[in-house]
Structure 1
């Protein structure tokens, strides 16, 4: 009995020390991780709309687009500026893929030209659905040269966009997100 109690106390002390060490390490690394994530997101915004040198959040527009079925997957909107003049927008869109939500940033300039679509987060099938993040899919001419008013669709759906082989649902999710950006653009420029 006495040996069992001693063993329990030793294990408890070891566990407490290990837990304290983990908490201490976490307290040092958490701010570093947050800073890295903020820098990565800032770089992604810059990649989505390269001509902009600064971005400003537009929360009032987010509330507005959430009530419109054509733009309801838009989670965040930032106006992009160059030398204080607005040059376009970057929209964070979250659409449902095959096995996860696909979160992406899509830039569009004031003339309706798409910037870049940057996939921020996805947990699609490795080797299939994850190919939506590759340049071969995201930068194909049917996407890069698309214009507002055009209904982007996959080849399988009588459109021009070549889906990733074996990842039709994931490909459709990306196309749906870009179409929502086009709907946002049309709403902004028609007012």
Structure 2
């Protein structure tokens, strides 16, 4: 009887230790995964800003999302980059509908309303066609750098200022429209986005 009780006690102890180890492992890996996801998100959203152009952690304090959305795109998030207590840029995360599915872009805008740069965060476009917009070797998104709302935001074939991504007219038009609408949103909301320190 004593042996049976001892064996049951050992079994319970072993089970408790195994459960503790499993929970500890889950907690450790969950923290590591969350940390890795945060680093990836930070890289995707802040890579457009020059090193040293901000000294805060913009992603730690997202700005309020707009109640009214754009006609052809949706603002998912906005962040304020600061340098020495003053705004240096606004990062807008926007989503538009491409040819095969949603395209999510990170868009960096300077305090004077110029587009610093844009980067694809997510896309489902056709390989070797629309998906090439995320290819760093194609450089298609670079043509939008330093542009502003008053430029002609359309393809050259539509009397605009921009080249088309070869073989991907729908994708090209969707991205151009999303970038224009991000600049339009900045133009309409710049007081809120830049905050009171922008005017001090």
Q: Is the TM value for this pair above 0.5?
A: yes
Report the alpha carbon displacement of residue 154 of structure 1 after superposing the two structures with TM. Answer: 1.1
Match of 2:141 in 1: 138
Match of 1:53 in 2: 55
The answer to whether the 8 A contact 2:106-2:118 is kept is yes
Which SS does the other structure have where 2:162 is aligned?
coil
Q: Deviations over 1:82-122 (max 9, x none)?
A: 12211121000000001010001100011122122011111
Match of 1:81 in 2: 82
Q: Deviations over 1:53-72 (max 9, x none)?
A: 3213112xx134xx143585
Segments of structure 2 that go 5 or more residues without pairing to the other structure are 1-21, 193-200
CA distance in 2, matches of 1:68, 1:40: 26
CA distance in 2, matches of 1:31, 1:101: 29
Which SS does the other structure have where 1:48 is aligned?
coil
Question: What's the TM-score once normalised by structure 2's chain length?
Answer: 0.72
Report the alpha carbon displacement of residue 49 of structure 1 after superposing the two structures with TM. Answer: 2.9
Distance 1:186-1:48 versus aligned 2 partners, 3 A rule: same
Segments of structure 1 that go 5 or more residues without pairing to the other structure are 1-22
The answer to whether the 8 A contact 1:97-1:173 is kept is yes
Which SS does the other structure have where 2:47 is aligned?
helix
Distance 1:103-1:152 versus aligned 2 partners, 3 A rule: same
Match of 2:189 in 1: 188
Match of 1:42 in 2: 42
CA distance in 2, matches of 1:190, 1:181: 15
Distance 1:42-1:104 versus aligned 2 partners, 3 A rule: same
CA distance in 2, matches of 1:117, 1:30: 31
The answer to whether the 8 A contact 2:73-2:95 is kept is no
Distance 1:83-1:45 versus aligned 2 partners, 3 A rule: farther
CA distance in 2, matches of 1:153, 1:133: 19
Report the alpha carbon displacement of residue 45 of structure 1 after superposing the two structures with TM. Answer: 2.6
Which of 1 and 2 has greater Rg? 2
Match of 1:19 in 2: none
The 5 Å alignment of 1:92-103 reads: 92-103=93-104
